[in-house]
Amino acid sequence: EPEVTQTPSHQVTQMGQEVILRCVPISNHLYFYWYRQILGQKVEFLVSFYNNEISEKSEIFDDQFSVERPDGSNFTLKIRSTKLEDSAMYFCASRGDANTGELFFGEGSRLTVL
């Protein structure tokens, strides 16, 4: 069964460092998403991506964040200068159909900022 894969599963970094989280969405999907969950809090929408551009982003997704689909298969989330409050589980998701398709999630990447 096709699945969304994410790497790394866990990353520990120092405050101020750049982090790139990688995702391989399901191959025929067109809509891509990043969500995050700070421990004990809600799963929050960060950004959606379609046709090689951001289609919507939340207030959380400030200038420190960026997304890219560099090669037609990977979908990356970059945090330029990590802060302690960026520590969270980051989930990638993809969807084939905008209106009715199920959102398929990866297993998540846990980011710990020290």
Give the residue carrying structure tokens 């398929």. Answer: 104
> Binding to other proteins by residue 70, rule CB under 8 A?
no
> Binding to other proteins by residue 114, rule CB under 8 A?
no
Interface of this chain with other proteins, residues 28 to 57, rule: CB under 8 A: 31, 33, 35, 37, 40-45, 48, 50, 55-56
24's tokens: 């391989």
Q: Which one of 79, 95, 111, 113 is in contact with other proteins (CB under 8 A)?
A: 95
For every residue of 93-105, DSSP letters joined together read: EEES-TTTPPPEE
Nearer to other proteins, 15 or 38 (CB): 38
Question: Counting beta carbons within 10 angstroms of the beta carbon of residue 45, is it exposed (0 to 12), middle (13 to 18) or buried (19 or more)?
Answer: middle
> Binding to other proteins by residue 108, rule CB under 8 A?
yes
Size of the site for other proteins (CB under 8 A): 29
Distance CA 5, CA 74 (A): 10
Distance CA 105, CA 78 (A): 18
User: Which residues make up the interface to other proteins (CB under 8 A)?
Assistant: 3-4, 6, 31, 33, 35, 37, 40-45, 48, 50, 55-56, 91, 93, 95, 98-99, 101-103, 105-108
